[in-house]
Amino acid sequence: MSENLRFVLDEADMPTHWYNIVADFPTPPPPPLHPGTREPVGPDDLAALFPPELIAQEVTTERYVEIPEAVRDVYRQFRPSPLVRARTWEKALGTNARIYYKYEGVSPAGSHKTNTAIPQVYYNSINGVTKLTTETGAGQWGTALSYASAFFGLECEVWQVGASFDTKPQRRTLIEVYGGTVHRSPSQLTEFGKTLPADHPGSLGIAISEAVEVAAQNDSIKYALGSVLNHVLLHQSIIGEEALKQLAMAGEESADIVVGCAGGGSNLAGLTFPFLRENLQGRTSTRIVAVEPASCPTLTKGQYRYDFGDTGGMTPLMKMYTLGHSFVPSPIHAGGLRYHAMAPLVSHAVHEGYIEAVALHQRECFETALEFARTEGIVPAPESSHALAQAKRFALEANEQGTSPVIVIGLSGHGLLELGAYESYLAGRLEDDALSQADVDAALAELPEI
């Protein structure tokens, strides 16, 4: 076992290919359907929004996709990201578990979102696209896309969920520092936005509808999505590919448990799909665990069915765990992870039993986040704190059982731009909120059957 705390791959050992889980699923995931015809969508249906390379990645069944050299050159500004042994936290927990965290907060935008922002902007840039539109909730995705757009010389226009826009001016400034433009959503700039009151708190689904509407109107403008879609999950797989190599550097044969937070699903998939490949190919039997907030319990209380990705019903229908596309998560919850559904590939993996799901309350997550900050030094993003809290549960369970599992945590980002939420927690103003199964069923019953 290595005595190092941090396992840092050399740039030369950075993975050269993304991994596509579709190639290893024994049963293929159900296809997306056209919102009008309800027939499986073809590449042409997506051409108004995405460049051809991303559409090809969306539907490919190849196991590996090469990472373009131009993308790797930008990745090298912050990748490979470190895998860190949480020795001080282990000591505080009095555990024999060996706890590692894969830290994506080292990226310029402070989270894993850059991993897909960079290739998305790159593929658009080589197709003559001059502007990208997108949504952002907590703000990480808008920041990442703005950073990547600056690098490749594209304009970037971001619709930020109203509630987040109103309370997080720092996020907006950061997006502007990288050269992006930010609008409060719902805005008066889109037909869909005009249908809503100007003081509406907004939601991710609404912001997506606005960004899609603007992109669909102009050939030189495309849309970029920060999670959910297959190509986004593909790009994030570099996280898990690196982590596997780094675990080996640390002298570990394999992980017993891998745990990540799940909102739209791209962070979870990025870390865990390469571990799932090892399981599906029979080399390991790692437990893979998705952690979602009790206030937005897509996987644990939603239904696995076809639904829209956005509130306006403009996107293809996707088979996924959903709370209904008109669901607006309670503003009580501080972190991101507020999407009404879960990425189709993650949903498929959960439905097939390859990934477990749990839902946690936020106060437990913040309590663990503080403990982590005071031992490991890093202030976790509120989203990431969900993975930490569940990992702590596993470590304490192991103490009771006298075992010493290897636990790998996806620490998807830092919380330095979310200190307002920490301030609320420290002041005792954060409340827990859980959606009952009856609430969810009632919401879903109102949706048309597809």
User: Does the footprint of a copy of itself cover residue 419 (CB under 8 A)?
Assistant: yes
- CB nearer to a copy of itself: give 84 or 395: 84
Angle between helices 362-376 and 419-426 (to 10 degrees): 110
Query: Does 288 sit near a copy of itself (CB under 8 A)?
Result: no
What b/e readout covers 437-446, taking b as 16+ CB neighbours within 10 angstroms? Answer: eeebeebbee
CB of 126 to a copy of itself, least distance (A): 18
Token pair in block for residue 200? 């509406």
**Cα 416 to Cα 409: distance, rounded to the nearest angstrom:** 19
Cα-to-chain-centroid distance, residue 196:
27
Q: How far is CA 374 from the centre of its chain?
A: 25
Q: Which stretch binds a copy of itself (CB under 8 A): 55-63, 145-153, 224-232, 282-290?
A: 145-153
Q: Quick one: which of 9, 144, 16, 122 has its CA closest to 71?
A: 122
Please, which of residues 30-49 interact with a copy of itself by CB under 8 A? Answer: none
- Residue 378 touches a copy of itself, criterion: CB under 8 A: yes
Pull the structure tokens for residue 80.
């490979």
For residue 73, give Cα distances in angstroms to 12, 16, 117, 119, 137.
11, 11, 14, 11, 28
CB 298 within 8 A of CB 339: yes
261, containing H or E segment: strand 257-261
Q: How near is the Cβ of 108 to a copy of itself at its closest, in Å?
A: 3
Helix (H) or strand (E) holding 222: strand 221-223
If binding means CB under 8 A, how many residues of this protein chain bind a copy of itself? Answer: 43
377 binds a copy of itself (CB under 8 A): yes
Range in contact with a copy of itself (rule: CB under 8 A) among 44-52, 132-140, 412-420, 433-441: 412-420
Angle 344-351/266-280 helices, nearest 10 degrees? 40
Q: Which of 337, 323, 197 is nearest to 265 (CA)?
A: 337
Nearest-5° angle of CA 418, CA 423, CA 428?
130
Residue 373 binds a copy of itself, judged by CB under 8 A: yes
Listed ranges 43-51, 146-154, 215-223, 265-273: which one lies at the site for a copy of itself (CB under 8 A) = 146-154
Contact segment (CB under 8 A) with a copy of itself among 184-192, 204-212, 315-323, 371-379 equals: 371-379
Q: Which is nearer to a copy of itself, 47 or 177 (CB)?
A: 177
In this chain, which stretch among 18-26, 73-81, 120-128, 189-197 interacts with a copy of itself, using CB under 8 A? 73-81
DSSP codes of every residue in 413-445: BB-TT-HHHHHHHHTT--------HHHHHHHHH
In the complex, the smallest distance separating the C-beta of residue 165 from a copy of itself, rounded to whole angstroms, is 14
Examine residue 104 and tell whether it contacts a copy of itself (CB under 8 A): no
- Figure out which of the listed residues 18, 147, 152, 159 binds a copy of itself, where binding follows CB under 8 A: 147
Does 177 bind a copy of itself (CB under 8 A)? Our answer is yes
- Please pick, from the candidates 8, 48, 216, 444, the single residue that binds a copy of itself as defined by CB under 8 A: 8
Q: List residues binding a copy of itself (CB under 8 A).
A: 4-6, 8, 10-12, 76-78, 84, 88, 106-110, 147, 150-151, 169-170, 173-174, 176-179, 370, 373-379, 416-417, 419-420, 422-423, 426
